[in-house]
Structure 1
């Protein structure tokens, strides 16, 4: 069967840059999976895109789906023919559904008796028949952020669609998408080559768009072209470009024919904090900043145009003219905010609402200060520094600079605090209160920063949960999942131990709302447990190990982590499998008994194996308790593994459910003592015995 490259292209007006890659990948995945489901042999599917098009190229696509062997069972023979041997309606209907005459059916013995059957081969449908359905299905499934209509059409898409191209090799596949009939014509760059471009073959697509079309439709090639050009222009400006991956992706989604150009701004703007300059250039203008070999910013930037201008200096001058007022505004904000001072700004927090039912930012700052004071000792932080940082923590939210650049909250607090002569540890804590800012981002590095970040996050969690506004589904407007994960990461990765339940209880108690505190705290602990489960799952830690430790509850996240790491080490021990299996058996035997068991009576231990197990349990009990109390969980589990041989011998030689009531109860008491030891660090009965 002849195979050729398949091209499907949807030509549009300029697509949303942040959605471009996702839409292109979804189109490629949709077409590829549609071909697979239809049984069409194919090669690699390649997602292509530019601001004005989504496309997919699929290598070596067959002309038709493979033939399929069909076997179907019909009605019982007894009901397929009447007394005279004539076919009944049941037989006729089955034959009709198979597309054959009754004479072509056969009988087959089954476990339910003789039945009519059909066996045959269904010819694979041609690609020309299948692709319209596949393309329509892929288009419907695209993750369009917001749909629109255009003209008098009832069809909807993220942007108006102007053309569709569908080729299999050199042959046009007839289909209609978004009211556009497919052909072999694509279009080049809006300004450099607005004329239609005819494609003799699907294999010509990428090259014909490049020349004469002035379009780099391969996103990876476009990305590398931008990266190389930006680096070259920055070098010509005397430095190296700061290339943020998110900005690079956005710029690549805005241009079809990238042309990098270097511009400059006045030296006086270098007085601005580095982060302000970068935010202005990257966030507002989509320029790439330039720094020197020492890491200091230069008064230069690199912009990427979507046109190869005959007068590049005019393009550069236009970009310089646009960025100048942005930088001038930032310099004005910087000077104004410094004159006011952070402490004076903090006085205005009482006039700003944090949340309607939770009071002002000033009230939140007071709650955070009290909570941070409770956590200062656990963080080994200076209590005075923590208290001062908590007082100033939200003041920069009232600055002109943060009003213009919300992403710089905390960062500007650090700058303004240092300008005002605040201690360095206080200033750094103001920035670190928001860490980690994203999943996988750094946690606070300083003790005061950790205490303040914990307090701020816990207060927000307590307040929003007290209002009954916990996240649901994908909705999390207060970023509570990120806050809870931040709490856990600061504790675990920062080596900070504290009682989560008690701290949450205090945070809930200080909220200006009346609630059932016990219920809210229980919900918060469960919420943190769910975040912790996901945290470990991302690190490849199995659910069994997590649940073994979670059986003890979640209070101190750092202690939880130490227990979990000890369990992972224990699971690698050869004796772990034996002891885990034995503990599962013990838990099953004891499942209907009260937790409090009677003490073991040594005189009622009649079998050597039970006496030996009792001796080992008694001998190890003090050390296991001491190791657990000291947090030496790995060593405690290593010593626990020593019980393996005695436990094996006990179950081999001793009948637990003896007829004598006293002996039976005594043996159950021995197993209860063993169970207690096996749950000292974690409930090892929950671990997989195959480990």
Structure 2
């Protein structure tokens, strides 16, 4: 089948840099979905040789599809109607159902045919050129772009994320004649706003990227532009004898701001290096979009690299202009730092009373006092200093009252660390100022000091119990206080730092620290269930089946470290040859006991054991029970399950030879006690009846 190259380009005023990648990906996805819908059920085969390339630059969104089929092939669709047995009455007249189906198909009853017991209509569609459908496909794709707020311009009622300036629609070497977002299509794109501020005529779709780069000084390929910037910044660092530090989010933003990137490196005064490096970095990155460099020892160098969107005839003048701009920014950071040091963190504790944490949960000062109570309990349980934990908790939020953090909010915690050291606080207390926010994101490092661990856990538990206690848990995708992230952070700290802490007990301490929570009753269980549920995604990411997680959740261990140990033990157990049969046996036992009202307590009466199979099971259970109790006490669940795996043969024989629900009530109850004992041994680790 004949193919052509298709090019779509929408030219606009500068697009939002942080949304550029998202818009480009969405345009490609929606356009392809629309084309597949037009091509029908054979779209996959028809597009097998097509090559799709997205382009995105500050003033354009473009899509090139090479080897796109030129024709929508003819097709036949079979529409099914009512069963043939009710299609006609006894006199051979068509039923109302059949007449209605014919009207729906836009045809006569006589055109219908019977196929496999149903009345059907064969609908034929003729082949048609794909170019006639592409305008509507792209129009629909633009309407579906994820644009939270659209704008209008001029007197037009047209809406888009930014004013539209031009439109290119070429199929092969011909323009697809249409109008979109108030602009008529053509073959003229535009070059660089400064270096080539005029039209560029494209004769074919395939020449788009090459022509723009060679004639228009525009690198339309987003990823190529990004990697070019990365390479230039790295090269600038090497020239300085240092190492360029490339933040990926900053790199993407800069790539979205430039069409023809050129790296230039400037310098700032070394006196500014007395300010904490992260404050200088934040100032350069957030306000100026600069990349910084470190020397071989990891120390910040007094240099920065900026990405210009032009090739300057006098680059030194551009560099000096940037140096002039960054100087007052860094001077502000230095001023904030020196001003903040004039007051101790302790002197700011009282200021926390002026900041409301949440209207129903009090001020930041109230929160600090609650965190101190919880942190002391955490420290006590771990055998760490409760004094350091309490001190760190009371000072933890005080840097929020500093000028530096007010200006650079992402420095909270880090500035607290520097100010605490300046105040002469204990080193671990100072580190806790920063560690309280760890982990900040997935994969982030965890707190290391005893005080940092205590405050990090306490802060999150205070927020969780408080919000649940005032009936404001997360709902759907809404989680304004990031409670899911807070819960996962606590679990990560406890598991990855091997902390033997009882989560339910700590939740109770946190809940009791609040005053007059309207939903206090049962709060421990609600918060615990919410937090343990975060393990589900955790283990899915590790490739552990969800039924393994559910088997442990069923017995609800309250220590996250213990929970994790059980999950790993069950995950190992299911690889054993005996696992499937024992899981099925446990399921059978569970069903039997459930029908009898649950587990049956008591001792097995050996005098009531009649069959050899039940005697063998009773004997083996007694032996294994003594053998695995020390393993349970040591938390060696994997070894315990390996021991219990030896029960398979005895359990299989029991169910083959023994009628549990015997007529004799005493015998029946004795056998139910035996099965209860069997199930309880496995429940010492998990409910393996859940395993599929």
- 1:687 aligns to what? 691
1:286 to 284, 289, 292: 289
Gap change, CA 1:116 and 1:620, over 3 Å in 2: closer
For 1:203 and 1:448, locate their aligned partners in 2 and report how far apart those are by CA, in whole Å.
Answer: 62
Asked if the contact 1:357–1:512 (Cα under 8 Å) also holds between the matched residues in 2, the reply is: no
Find the residue that maps to 1:628 and give its secondary structure. Answer: helix
2:52 to 45, 49, 64: 45
- 1:675 aligns to what? 679
For 1:180 and 1:359, locate their aligned partners in 2 and report how far apart those are by CA, in whole Å.
Answer: 55
- 2:15 aligns to what? 15
For 2:112 and 2:170, locate their aligned partners in 1 and report how far apart those are by CA, in whole Å.
Answer: 41
1:94 is displaced (CA, Å) by: 5.6
Asked if the contact 1:128–1:174 (Cα under 8 Å) also holds between the matched residues in 2, the reply is: no
1:126 to 125, 129, 132: 129
- 2:645 aligns to what? 641
Indicate the larger mover: 54-63 or 68-77.
68-77
Is 1:371 the counterpart of 2:378? The answer is: no
1:522 to 522, 525, 534: 525
Gap change, CA 1:86 and 1:219, over 3 Å in 2: same
- 1:166 aligns to what? 169
Indicate the larger mover: 638-647 or 176-185.
176-185
For 2:467 and 2:623, locate their aligned partners in 1 and report how far apart those are by CA, in whole Å.
Answer: 50
Find the residue that maps to 1:518 and give its secondary structure. Answer: coil
- 2:458 aligns to what? 455
For 1:73 and 1:350, locate their aligned partners in 2 and report how far apart those are by CA, in whole Å.
Answer: 72
Deviations 1:493-552 (A, max 9, x none): 111122212211221121133424233323212221222222222222211011100011
2:78 to 71, 82, 89: 71
- 2:224 aligns to what? 221
2:402 to 376, 399, 408: 399
1:118 is displaced (CA, Å) by: 3.6
1:406 is displaced (CA, Å) by: 0.9
Is 1:246 the counterpart of 2:249? The answer is: yes
For 2:684 and 2:103, locate their aligned partners in 1 and report how far apart those are by CA, in whole Å.
Answer: 70
1:439 to 416, 439, 442: 442
Deviations 1:134-169 (A, max 9, x none): 212211221113211112222222111122222222
Q: What are the ranges of 5 or more consecutive residues in structure 2 without an aligned counterpart?
A: none
- 1:256 aligns to what? 259
Indicate the larger mover: 658-667 or 208-217.
658-667
Paired residues in the alignment total 684
| 1:321-332 matched pairs, under 5 angstroms | 321-332=324-335
Q: What are the ranges of 5 or more consecutive residues in structure 1 without an aligned counterpart?
A: none
| 1:561-600 matched pairs, under 5 angstroms | 561-593=564-596, 594-600=598-604
For 2:98 and 2:23, locate their aligned partners in 1 and report how far apart those are by CA, in whole Å.
Answer: 49
For 2:87 and 2:459, locate their aligned partners in 1 and report how far apart those are by CA, in whole Å.
Answer: 76
Gap change, CA 1:74 and 1:460, over 3 Å in 2: closer
- 2:416 aligns to what? 413
- 1:483 aligns to what? 486
Gap change, CA 1:8 and 1:619, over 3 Å in 2: same
For 2:186 and 2:530, locate their aligned partners in 1 and report how far apart those are by CA, in whole Å.
Answer: 54
1:469 is displaced (CA, Å) by: 2.0
1:380 is displaced (CA, Å) by: 4.1
Asked if the contact 2:468–2:519 (Cα under 8 Å) also holds between the matched residues in 1, the reply is: no
- 2:669 aligns to what? 665
Gap change, CA 1:604 and 1:266, over 3 Å in 2: same
For 2:210 and 2:550, locate their aligned partners in 1 and report how far apart those are by CA, in whole Å.
Answer: 56
Is 1:61 the counterpart of 2:64? The answer is: no
Gap change, CA 1:656 and 1:225, over 3 Å in 2: same
- 2:385 aligns to what? 382
Find the residue that maps to 2:265 and give its secondary structure. Answer: strand
| 1:300-315 matched pairs, under 5 angstroms | 300-315=303-318
1:446 is displaced (CA, Å) by: 2.1
TM-score (norm 2): 0.94
Deviations 1:64-99 (A, max 9, x none): 223323223445668777999898987777667656
For 2:488 and 2:666, locate their aligned partners in 1 and report how far apart those are by CA, in whole Å.
Answer: 51
| 1:607-618 matched pairs, under 5 angstroms | 607-618=611-622
Gap change, CA 1:382 and 1:75, over 3 Å in 2: closer
- 1:267 aligns to what? 270
Deviations 1:607-630 (A, max 9, x none): 111110111111111232332122
Indicate the larger mover: 379-388 or 159-168.
379-388
Is 1:474 the counterpart of 2:477? The answer is: yes
Deviations 1:585-641 (A, max 9, x none): 111111122334343221121111111011111111123233212211111111111
- 2:35 aligns to what? 35
For 2:88 and 2:615, locate their aligned partners in 1 and report how far apart those are by CA, in whole Å.
Answer: 77
1:122 is displaced (CA, Å) by: 2.7
- 1:3 aligns to what? 3
For 2:319 and 2:398, locate their aligned partners in 1 and report how far apart those are by CA, in whole Å.
Answer: 38
For 2:86 and 2:572, locate their aligned partners in 1 and report how far apart those are by CA, in whole Å.
Answer: 66
1:480 is displaced (CA, Å) by: 1.5
Gap change, CA 1:518 and 1:211, over 3 Å in 2: same
Root-mean-square deviation (CA, aligned residues, Å) is 2.2
For 1:157 and 1:604, locate their aligned partners in 2 and report how far apart those are by CA, in whole Å.
Answer: 82
1:101 is displaced (CA, Å) by: 7.0
1:141 to 127, 141, 144: 144
Find the residue that maps to 1:257 and give its secondary structure. Answer: coil
Gap change, CA 1:315 and 1:513, over 3 Å in 2: farther
Deviations 1:289-326 (A, max 9, x none): 11222221111100001111222122111111111101
Asked if the contact 2:112–2:121 (Cα under 8 Å) also holds between the matched residues in 1, the reply is: yes
Is 1:295 the counterpart of 2:302? The answer is: no
For 1:266 and 1:129, locate their aligned partners in 2 and report how far apart those are by CA, in whole Å.
Answer: 62
Deviations 1:441-484 (A, max 9, x none): 11112222111100111112222222222222222222222111
1:192 is displaced (CA, Å) by: 1.4
Find the residue that maps to 1:340 and give its secondary structure. Answer: coil
